[in-house]
Amino acid sequence: MKILVVDDSSLARSLLIDAMNQAELGEHVFREAGNGIEALEQVHSEPPDLILSDLRMPRMDGIELLEELQRLGVSVPFCLVTGGMSSDAEERAVALGVAKIVAKPFSPQTLADALRDLFE
C-alpha cells in the first residue's frame, strides 16, 4: 500500500512511519509531505492508497487538504492524526468524509487498532 504521511514536523512524520511499521499492518511504501500543498502535488504525481495527515499545518491544514481533494474528485481514504481538535473541526471533518481521526500521542498498537479496518 502507498501511504502519504503529511505533517509539518519531520520528526512527527518519522514517528508515524515508525509506528506504522511496528503496527504489523503489512508492507507499505511511505511518502512524505510537509503541508497540504506539498501533499496535493504528490497526489497528482503518484496517487496514494491512504493519506495520514496532521490537522494543524501552515499553508494548508488537514481539513483544507481534505476539502481540496474532494473538490478535485480525488477519492482516497483520509485519516487525520491530531493532538486535539475542536468539536466544530471534528464535525467538519466527519461531514467531509474523513475515514478516521487518530489522537496523538499514540502507540503502534493504538494506531493499528484505529486503522486496522482500512487494511482488511
User: Given strand 50-54, what is the order of strands in its sheet?
Assistant: 29-33, 2-6, 50-54, 78-82, 100-103
The pLDDT value recorded for residue 98 is 94
* Structure letter (DSSP) for residue 65: H
Contact 67, 60 (CB under 8 A): no
Output the pLDDT for position 20. Answer: 92
Contact status, residue 78 vs residue 71, Cβ threshold 8 Å: no
The average confidence (pLDDT) of the chain is 92
For 92-112, the pLDDT digits (tens) are: 999 999 999 998 888 999 998
Q: How far apart are CA 28 and CA 26, in angstroms?
A: 6
Share of the chain above pLDDT 70, in %: 100
- Give the pLDDT score at 35: 95
Q: Which of 101, 110, 105, 1 is nearest to 47 (CA)?
A: 1
Amino acid making up residue 102:
V
**Whole-number pLDDT of residue 104:** 87
pTM: 0.94
The pLDDT assigned to 23 comes to 87
- 26-61, pLDDT tens digit by residue? 889 999 999 999 999 999 999 999 999 999 999 899
Architecture of domain 2-47+58-106: 3-Layer(aba) Sandwich (3.40)
